Chains A and B, each alone.
Chain A
Amino acid sequence: MRRATLVPYLFVTPAMLLLLAFGVLPIGVAAVVSTTDMNISGLANWSNVEFIGIGNYVALAGDPDFWRALGNTGLFVAVGVPAIVILSLAVALLLERSGGRLARALRSFYFVPAVTGIVAISLVWGYLYNTQFGLFNYLLSLVGIGQVQWLSDPWLAKFSVALVAIWRGTGLNIIIFLAALQGIPREYREAAALDGAGEWRTTRSIVLPLLGFAIFFVTVTTTIAWLQFFDEPFVLTDGGPLGATTSMSIFLYKEGFRLNQFGYASAGSLVLFAIIAIITVVQLRLRRRDVEY
């Protein structure tokens, strides 16, 4: 460790400037802008911007679109989080159990969706989901099921866009679970086997409890990700049909960049931030009450 005069500042300055400009400063700007009626004319000339106090927040509370976006986001969290946590945990356990060359070869297939770009992937899934010439409807027609409106039925569309996100989201978490599984000492399982515990029993009573932290971590990060759910519905359905897949983030994007209501959207973004913070804190609290192994 060195004490030097200017040198360390020179090393950290470029990164700190960028982080301050695009990570810290925006919070303050958002807070200020959220109390104004800032819009496109305000962008051109600051004198057109007026302070309206909590006006935007009051308007939000009375905006049915905001409440619907919030409801949709709640549904996405309720469907998406358990699906991703359970699926990636199951795949990680199976991969770990089977070991060997086969598992190592197959692993990559599960990881791959995590590195693909969402826009490209949405085109591919949109093609699969297509009502007239999509593969899914063809396969269903083989068993006598007629045309399914994957993306234009308001209820089904919610699950169709969620499925794409689940497909893309499991890879990263499988990797995290596999890393955690490698951290479990072999002796624990051997001891359980010596005591006569079967494989299922060992998994349930030894492995899963030891994975507690990883499961918790994945649950928290996955919840945050679903609260911010944006890419898939944005590209696949643009929040439609009739707002059925409009998440909070899409609502904010549309208010901000399509309708240029910067003040209104900033207020909404701070509300979303508060929701994310509260849910995360609650999860952390619940965890602390858990038994430590």
Chain B
Amino acid sequence: MSNTDARARRRARPPEVRRRRAISFSIGLVLLVGALSTAFPLLWMVAGSFKPQREAIDFPPTLLPQEPTLANYLRLFTELDFGRYLGNTVIVVLIGVFGLLFMAMAGYGFAKFRFRGKGALFFLVLATLMIPVQVTMIPTYLILNGMKLTNTLVGVALPTLVSGFGVFLFRQFMSTIPDEVLEAARVDGAGEVRTFFQIVLPMSKPILAVQAVLAFITGWNSFLWPLIVASDQKLYTLSVGLSLLNQQLAVDPALQMAAASVMVVPVLLVFVVFQRYVVQGFALSGLK
């Protein structure tokens, strides 16, 4: 009986294996098709950015540019003011470095010191996470207006410079730095500032990297605040300049695709190079 059993199993195995292989293959195929269609709009964007205007509105459309040209990019930076928008965007991103520093400092304060009002202050930090931007949008504008910061790049960067979640993540990470290390630094005569910059920050590199990459992406992409705060065209960031292009030049998709590429490709490069940190940061946001 065991004999027939074994024979039955032997006969059963090949179809079972074949079935599993078939499943694996079709899953791979589904994933491949899904991945390509997810990425397709981005490929379409880059391809379109090199098409002459006529070809971009041709029917039937072509996948790859038949007569590739850089004319669209040239127009962006000569006829239109995209050089300035790009510069403003870079400035806003650079101001973000201060935000990173402030969040790290606060995280350190909350992680490694005991002080009066700490619990209440940290509660406030977490409470800011629950407040939707629609509620803060108008008051923040009024507050910035009161501080005479509307229509400045600092005003554009300020409302999102520090996030409660960022402070929280720094605190969580810095709590794991052993107290002995800090004590040793103090015994060696390092002041508080020096301890922070030469011991704490270098030890926090992993979380610093994650937050820096995320800060770059959000700063680069930020749209609502530049839109609300910068009414002078000289202060437009890429995203605001681009939305203007959306309204003005709806008939020139090639130019639009070039402008979109100027905004998206740098972030894609950052993503490709620092993917590990981006993924970590997103996974951490699952802790929220």
Contact at B35–A110, with CB atoms within 8 Å?
yes
B172 interface contact, C-beta 8 A: no
A-B contact pairs, 16 of them (CB 8 A): A1-B113, A1-B179, A2-B112, A3-B115, A15-B105, A23-B131, A94-B31, A106-B31, A106-B34, A115-B268, A117-B239, A119-B243, A125-B41, A172-B285, A175-B283, A266-B138
CA distance A108 to B121 in the complex (A): 38
Question: In the assembled complex, which residues on chain A have CB atoms less than 8 Å from the CB atom of B39?
Answer: 109, 112
CA distance A26 to B54 in the complex (A): 49
Interface string of B228-271 (1 = CB under 8 A from A): 10000000001110110110001001001101110110011011
Q: How far is the CB of A230 from chain B (nearest CB, A)?
A: 7
Tell whether A172 pairs with B42 under 8 Å between CB atoms, given A11-B109, A23-B136, A91-B34: no
A residues 40-99 touching B (CB-CB < 8 Å): 43, 91, 94-95, 97-98
A residues 201-235 touching B (CB-CB < 8 Å): 214, 217, 221, 224, 227-228, 230-231, 235
Interface string of B159-183 (1 = CB under 8 A from A): 1111010010000000000010010
Interface string of A255-267 (1 = CB under 8 A from B): 0110000100110
Closest A residue, CB atoms, query B244: A119
Question: In the assembled complex, which residues on chain A have CB atoms less than 8 Å from the CB atom of B228?
Answer: 257
B60 interface contact, C-beta 8 A: yes
Choose among B142, B162, B270, B282 the residue that contacts A262 (Cβ–Cβ < 8 A).
Answer: B142
The number of chain A residues with a CB under 8 A from chain B is: 95
The 5 closest A-B pairs by CB, nearest first: A23-B128, A11-B109, A26-B139, A8-B113, A29-B139
B78 interface contact, C-beta 8 A: no
B217 interface contact, C-beta 8 A: yes
Interface string of A1-44 (1 = CB under 8 A from B): 11110011111101110111111111111100100000000010
CA distance A277 to B130 in the complex (A): 9
CA distance A262 to B105 in the complex (A): 35
Please give the residue numbers on chain A whose beta carbons come within 8 Å of chain B beta carbons, in ascending order. Answer: 1-4, 7-12, 14-16, 18-30, 33, 43, 91, 94-95, 97-98, 102-103, 106, 108-128, 130, 132-133, 135, 138, 167, 171-172, 175-176, 178-180, 199, 214, 217, 221, 224, 227-228, 230-231, 235, 248-249, 252-253, 256-257, 262, 265-266, 269-270, 272-273, 276-277
Question: In the assembled complex, which residues on chain B have CB atoms less than 8 Å from the CB atom of A230?
Answer: 134, 224
Given contacts A118-B221, A252-B134, 6 further A-B pairs with CB under 8 A are A11-B106, A12-B106, A98-B31, A133-B61, A269-B137, A272-B135
B73 interface contact, C-beta 8 A: no
Closest A residue, CB atoms, query B125: A19
Question: In the assembled complex, which residues on chain B have CB atoms less than 8 Å from the CB atom of A91?
Answer: 31, 34
Choose among B61, B128, B138 the residue that contacts A24 (Cβ–Cβ < 8 A).
Answer: B128
Contact at B138–A265, with CB atoms within 8 Å?
yes
CA distance A29 to B102 in the complex (A): 25
Q: How far is the CB of B163 from chain A (nearest CB, A)?
A: 8
Contact at B139–A98, with CB atoms within 8 Å?
no
Question: In the assembled complex, which residues on chain B have CB atoms less than 8 Å from the CB atom of A3?
Answer: 113-115
The number of chain B residues with a CB under 8 A from chain A is: 102
CA distance A272 to B242 in the complex (A): 29
Q: How far is the CB of A57 from chain B (nearest CB, A)?
A: 15
Tell whether A94 pairs with B27 under 8 Å between CB atoms, given A1-B112, A120-B260, A132-B59: yes
Please give the residue numbers on chain B whose beta carbons come within 8 Å of chain A beta carbons, in ascending order. Answer: 23-24, 27-28, 30-32, 34-36, 38-39, 41-42, 44-45, 48, 56-61, 99, 102-103, 105-106, 108-110, 112-115, 118, 121, 124-125, 127-128, 130-143, 145, 158-162, 164, 167, 179, 182, 192, 196, 217, 220-221, 223-224, 228, 238-240, 242-243, 245-246, 250, 253, 256-257, 259-261, 263-264, 267-268, 270-272, 275, 278-279, 282-283, 285-286, 288
Contact at A121–B41, with CB atoms within 8 Å?
yes
Contact at B257–A123, with CB atoms within 8 Å?
yes
Question: In the assembled complex, which residues on chain A have CB atoms less than 8 Å from the CB atom of B133?
Answer: 228
Contact at A18–B137, with CB atoms within 8 Å?
no
Contact at A231–B223, with CB atoms within 8 Å?
yes
Closest A residue, CB atoms, query B288: A221
Contact at B45–A273, with CB atoms within 8 Å?
no
Question: In the assembled complex, which residues on chain B have CB atoms less than 8 Å from the CB atom of A277?
Answer: 130
Q: How far is the CB of A293 from chain B (nearest CB, A)?
A: 18
Q: How far is the CB of A97 from chain B (nearest CB, A)?
A: 6
Choose among B45, B105, B142, B271 the residue that contacts A43 (Cβ–Cβ < 8 A).
Answer: B142
Choose among A8, A18, A228 the residue that contacts B162 (Cβ–Cβ < 8 A).
Answer: A18
Closest A residue, CB atoms, query B220: A117
Q: How far is the CB of B143 from chain A (nearest CB, A)?
A: 6
Contact at B109–A12, with CB atoms within 8 Å?
yes
CA distance A231 to B249 in the complex (A): 20
Contact at A123–B256, with CB atoms within 8 Å?
yes
